[in-house]
Structure 1
Amino acid sequence: MENYDVAIVGYGPTGATLAHLLGQCGLKVLVLEREAAAYHLPRAVHFDGEVMRVLQWIGIADAMEPLTCQHPGMRFVGPDGKLLLDWPRPPGKGPQGWRSNYRFHQPDLERLLREAMVDRPQVTVRTRCDLFLVEEDETGVTLRYEDMSRGKIQRARAKYVVGCDGARSLVRRFIETGMEDYGFHERWLVVDVILRDDKPELGDHSIQYCVPERPSTYVRIPGRRRRWEITVRPDEDSAEMIRPDKVWEMLSPWVRPDEADLERAAVYVFHSLVAEDWRRGRLFLAGDACHQTPPFMGQGMCAGIRDAANLYWKLALACHGSLGKDETERVLDSYTSERKPNAREYIQTAVRLGGLINTCGTEAALREALPGSGGIARMESIAPPLGEGLGHGPAAGRLFGQPHLASGALMDDAHRHKWVVVADAELARGLDLPAGVALVSTANSPDAAEHLARFGVGAVLLRPDRHTLGSADTQAELAQLVERALPNPVNSSIPEMV
């Protein structure tokens, strides 16, 4: 029987990202995927600067960026065309070192993720393999699966298993967790078309049409691809809604059959669910297996990539035996306690925005969707911190930006998977850091001071996922933070095999 450090079930963007990151940390990884190839039609169409930063770690961000298009923001309009809510997105590079938002074609991302896996000898990918049994014991997990290409039952052994196997997750069934329901369950017709010629009047903004008869959404995708998501009423038949003549009837306010080709039409039920338990023993969940969100914030795939970024370095520490038993359990438990509240907040905001669309943008709906806004028709991007976990102090659990070094390189390219102190030069002077902990100071970074100023602190200690473990304003506080956060600094570093 083959033995691995981590087995990942599912080879979508979340599973592939996690496999890359674990492989870079020197772990032996098995990926099991039921399908023979990546899905060839559009699915997710948006990701943000935080996700692009993770793609930078993997090494595919520079190849992915030219395949995306600018996303200037989202607008909510009423039946009379009046702007109800404006959600602009900054056009330039943001604190993460990348633009704040991107529109993309998911098959492009999956292709790059899979092509880059060729350079990961630590990762074994097996497609057309259908997992059916997971047996956990004190030292690991035995997986049984059918290799459908040969009709043969196979076994594998891993220290940990991560279910990235979607909304119908088999791993979630073995964990036996329930789902927290936030009350949004609606059928929507999703239509992807390819324009035959440019149609600039459609615009580059995403538009939420808060129309009583038929709430709908328009989304620009790279090239000539465009998407519409249209509410399906309770009395309408899903099979009838995807007939081409019906689809073109639904699209008639925007585009005619002679102007575009249908690429896909499907009816989906959008849910708002979060798994109660994201971990049981050696079994974990990530991506759609543990959270499902309405699409109104474009955060479904983003949440899965955030899961992978939070979990990979914790599994690396556990698999390398870097920590004692109790500390290992504390670190692994923090995955759920940190990620679940963050995912929940995104989902609850998406539910509120869905309510705004379905109630046609009334003033009361605006107040409910954006508490404290006073009905002001403008929204800023949210960036909720992590839930309670490994951090120390009020600044813990917040995503920190990515300074440039004096060489012009981005911080993460120079210090991938490492703990990093970012500090004012005065605080950093004479600081004795443990082996494996990098230092970026205002003396060797032209914009570190700007990043620190956003947090209003003199120094931060960053985890490998670039969230803060804590902050400091004096040399004594900084020394104490490092000592407290890294009691065994040699064992807290992650061996890297890029």
Structure 2
Amino acid sequence: MTDTAGAIDYDVLVVGFGPTGAVAAGLLGRLGHRTLVIDRLTDVYDKPRAIALDHEIFRHFDNMGLTEAISPHIEPFTASEHFGVDGQLIRRIDMVAKPYPLGYTPSMVFSQPAVEAELRRHATSFSNVRAELGVELLDLVQTSDRVEARLKDSDGRHRSVTARYVLGCDGASSTVRQIAGLALEDLIFDEPWLVVDVRVNESALARLPQCSAQFCNPARPVSFLIGPKNHRRWEIMLLPGEDARQMERPDNVWKLLAPWLTPQDGELWRAASYRFHALVAADWRSGRILIAGDAAHQQPPFIGQGMCQGLRDATNLVWKLDHVLKGVSSGSLLDSYTVERKQHVIELTGKIKAIGQSICERDPAAARRRDAHILAEGGGKPLLLTRQEIIPPLRAGCLSHHETPARGTLFPQPRIANGSTTRLLDEVTGPGWRVLIDGRSNDAASMLALRAVCPDVSATAVAPAGAGLPNALEEAEGVLANWFDRHAVVAAVVRPDHYVFGTARDATELGDLLREVELRRRDVPAEQDKIPDLKMERTP
């Protein structure tokens, strides 16, 4: 075993260089941490698996400086229309109206191979990030200050490296999870499906549905998704007695696609059978070993949140690892990772399961009752939902222990007026800990001065365009002013991952909130009833 008194090779070892591992490595690289990322495979998988992402994830991509590189491979997600037993429209899931709350199209589709290649390129652009492909993890051994990883190179050579922390992003059959002894909990969903991706000829595109669709036909439920350019996906439920491997054969695939396409209408890109599971790890941390992405959870794909959940794991965990590695917080901050992400995954998976079970209803009488119930919810018309209403907030963890309005939700991102153009808020403030203040408040000036409580937390006032308020940025569309009004608050403390730590109705509450931030980062228990006053030793 490596001598614990010796030098540690890396701050973080990331196992798995898929989207979750690549985002984690890129974020760690930007923050200056020595990072090794390994993967058993030597290249990006050349066929699509994930197809959807949302504005929360794209916001992080933008913060990482990836917008220009990945935008050619991303398009807005169409509305999703759900059709009942008799082919009637029963439900429509669309995106929220403009102005968009985070500044981007709320739902998007993307080409995974191209975007994943850009995520890898970004991660390895940092001199402190090293990627080694064709490398297999054999074992992990923890000591008090490090983890020793035994690796097997592509040439069969064995060697060891050490890291302060290990992050397992190595997929559903995660070696890291197995070595760490992190058990999976079954959230009770297990259905066999065939996923088919087709590059459709231009002449055939017009004959296909112009929106994504769920055909809730009890004879055989089918999902249809419109991907970027000419990419179309069908997710087809397999029936009892059907052999999954046989159903992947091109002749059987084209029989299933016959209601929409013939073999002359496009190129079969991928056909793969899956069992759609709902699983979550009981704990996502064992000492210095943590897991993320499919290693930590698996869920049905019915609202396209699988990859998004993995990237939420990465963006949640990396800022906490950064605090711990830089000595801002003790290692106990990492306990909030499981608390926050596990509950979020369970809650969202419950909603996805409900949608999936509704779609997958095989009994015709029950399916008709479902159709009638959904239409009744819509007042006799197709029920209209937005995808963003489905995503839950954080409920517990590194949040204010006062249940203030909007605590645990994503903070909006308005467009800030900049002469004749606009910039998104994150470009102006950066994505670190920050206080956002309603510039219309009479307390705005005194609240700005409270930044002295947490000198490394920025403070910015924002007011509607034309307000003419001193020391305030001007937003172009009223997104933030409406948010402050809706929640009846005048300030919000926002975490580096854009979740709201807590909100305040006046300067006194904001001062208490900032003192709580300082205490939480120093690991004073959040459950205490009274937060002691911290003397302000600095001036703004």
- Counterpart for residue 494 of structure 1: none
Alignment TM-score, normalising by the size of structure 1: 0.92
**Which of 382, 388, 393 is residue 385 of structure 1 equivalent to?**
393
Equivalent of residue 473 in structure 2, options 439, 444, 447: 444
Provide the residue aligned with 1:467 in structure 2: 499
Partner of 2:185: 180
Residue from 491, 497, 509 that aligns with 1:477: 509
Q: Deviations over 1:219-252 (max 9, x none)?
A: 1111111111111112011221111111110000
Structure 2 contact 85–367 (Cα < 8 Å) conserved: no
One-letter identity of the residue aligned with 1:190: V
**C-alpha distance in structure 2 between counterparts of 1:167 and 1:481, whole Å:** 39
Matches within 5 A, 1:256-271: 256-271=262-277
Measure how far apart 1:441 and its partner are.
1.0
**Structure 1 474/208 Cα, relative in aligned 2: closer, same or farther at 3 Å?**
same
1:233 corresponds to 2:267: no
- C-alpha distance in structure 1 between counterparts of 2:201 and 2:137, whole Å: 42
Deviation at 1:60, TM superposition (A): 0.7
Q: Which moved more, 1:20-29 or 1:445-454?
A: 445-454
Deviations 1:131-162 (A, max 9, x none): 010001111100011111x3211211111111
The one of 303, 313, 330 aligned to 1:307: 313
Show the counterpart of 2:466: none
Letter in 1 for 2:506: T
Q: CA deviation at 1:2?
A: 6.0
Work out whether residues 84 and 371 of structure 2, in 8 Å CA contact, stay in contact via their aligned partners in 1: no
Q: Is the deviation greater in 231-240 or in 160-169? A: 231-240
> Aligned partners of 2:182 and 2:522: how far apart in 1?
36
What amino acid is aligned across from residue 463 of structure 1 in structure 2?
A: R
Q: 2:218 aligns with which of 208, 212, 218?
A: 212
- Alignment of 1:97 with 2:97, yes or no, is no
- Give the match for residue 409 of structure 2: 398
Note if 1:8 corresponds to 2:22.
no
| Partners of 1:117 and 1:269 in 2: CA distance | 32
Residues 18 and 312, structure 1, Cα contact 8 Å, conserved in 2:
yes
Change (3 A) 1:369 1:65: farther
Q: CA deviation at 1:263?
A: 0.9
Provide the C-alpha distance between the structure 1 equivalents of 2:291 and 2:375, rounded to a whole number of angstroms.
Answer: 30
Question: How far 1:369 sits from its partner (Å)?
Answer: 8.8
2:482 paired with 1:432? no
In structure 2, what residue type is equivalent to 1:481? Answer: L
Moved more, 186-195 or 396-405: 396-405
Q: Residue 345 and residue 119 in structure 1: after superposition, are their counterparts in 2 closer, same or farther (change >3 A)?
A: same
Correspondent of 2:71 among 65, 68, 79: 65
Q: Alpha-carbon deviation of 1:80?
A: 2.1
**Aligned pair in 2 of structure 1 residues 263, 489: CA closer, same or farther (>3 Å)?**
closer
Mark the CA change 1:5 to 1:367 in structure 2 (over 3 Å): closer, same or farther: farther
Q: Which amino acid aligns with 1:421?
A: V
- The 3-state SS of whatever aligns with 1:296 is coil
The alpha-carbon deviation at position 189 of structure 1 amounts to 0.9
Q: Give CA deviations for 1:183-225 in whole Å, capped at 9, x if unaligned.
A: 2111111111111224123234221111122111111111111
SS of alignment partner, residue 58 of structure 2:
helix
Moved more, 429-438 or 243-252: 429-438
Q: Which residue of 2 aligns with 1:152?
A: 157
Rounded to whole Å, the distance in 1 between the matches of 2:286 and 2:214 is 39
Match of 1:495 in 2: none
For the residue of structure 1 that corresponds to 2:59, the secondary structure is: helix
Distance 1:367 1:203, change over 3 A: closer
Look up the equivalent residue of 1:195 and give its one-letter code: V
1:39 corresponds to which residue? Answer: 45
Q: What is aligned with 2:3?
A: none
Aligned to 1:346: 348
Does structure 2 retain, via aligned residues, the 8 Å contact 1:352–1:368?
no
Q: Which runs of 5 or more structure 2 residues have no equivalent in the other structure?
A: 1-6, 463-471, 524-540
User: Counterparts of 2:20 and 2:166 in 1: how far apart (Å)?
Assistant: 14
Aligned counterparts of 1:93 and 1:156: Cα–Cα separation in 2: 49
Q: Is the 8 A contact 2:26 2:124 kept in 1?
A: no
Q: Which amino acid aligns with 2:171?
A: G
Q: Distance in 2 between matches of 1:43 and 1:465?
A: 25
Looking at structure 1, the residues matched to 59 and 71 of structure 2 have their Cα atoms a distance apart, in angstroms, of 11
Aligned to 1:496: none
How far does residue 419 in structure 1 lie from its aligned partner after superposition?
Answer: 0.9
Determine the C-alpha separation between the residues in 2 that align with 1:76 and 1:421. 41
2:445 aligned partner, one-letter code: R
Q: 1:15 to 1:487 in 2, by over 3 A?
A: same
**Cα 1:66–1:468, aligned 2, differ >3 Å: closer, same or farther?**
same
Please list the CA deviations of residues 255-285 of structure 1 after superposition, one character each: whole Å capped at 9, or x if unmatched. Answer: 1111111111111111011111111111111
Matched, 1:137 2:143: yes
Residue identity (%): 37
Q: Residue in 2 aligned with 1:287? A: 293
Alpha-carbon RMSD: 2.4
User: When the two structures are aligned, how many residues end up with a matched partner?
Assistant: 487
Conserved in 1, the CA contact under 8 Å of 2:15 and 2:38? yes
Aligned 8 A contact 1:436 1:489 in 2: no
**1:392-426 CA-partner distances (Å, limit 9, x unpaired):** 12232111111333433222223334211111123
**Counterpart Cα distance in 2 of 1:453 and 1:38:** 46
- Indicate which of 485, 493, 518 corresponds to 1:453: 485
- Give, as a single letter, the amino acid of the residue that structure 1 aligns with 2:408: G
Q: CA deviation at 1:370?
A: 11
Q: 1:139 to 1:157 in 2, by over 3 A?
A: same
**AA aligned opposite 1:292:** Q
TM-score (norm. length: structure 2): 0.85
Q: For 1:370 and 1:166, how far apart are their aligned partners in 2?
A: 39
CA distance in 1: counterparts of 2:228 and 2:234, whole angstroms? 14
Kindly tell me: are residues 214 and 73 of structure 1, through their superposed partners in 2, closer, same or farther at Cα, counting changes over 3 Å?
same
Q: 1:187 to 1:368 in 2, by over 3 A?
A: farther
**Cα offset for 1:61?**
2.0
User: 1:343 deviation in Å?
Assistant: 1.1
**8 Å CA contact retained: 1:349, 1:369:** no
Post-superposition offset of 1:373: 7.4
Q: Supply the distance in 1 between the matched residues of 2:430 and 2:504 (Cα, whole angstroms).
A: 23
Query: Matched residues in 2 for 1:32 and 1:202: separation?
Result: 41
CA distance in 2, matches of 1:274, 1:30: 26
Matched with 2:324 is 318
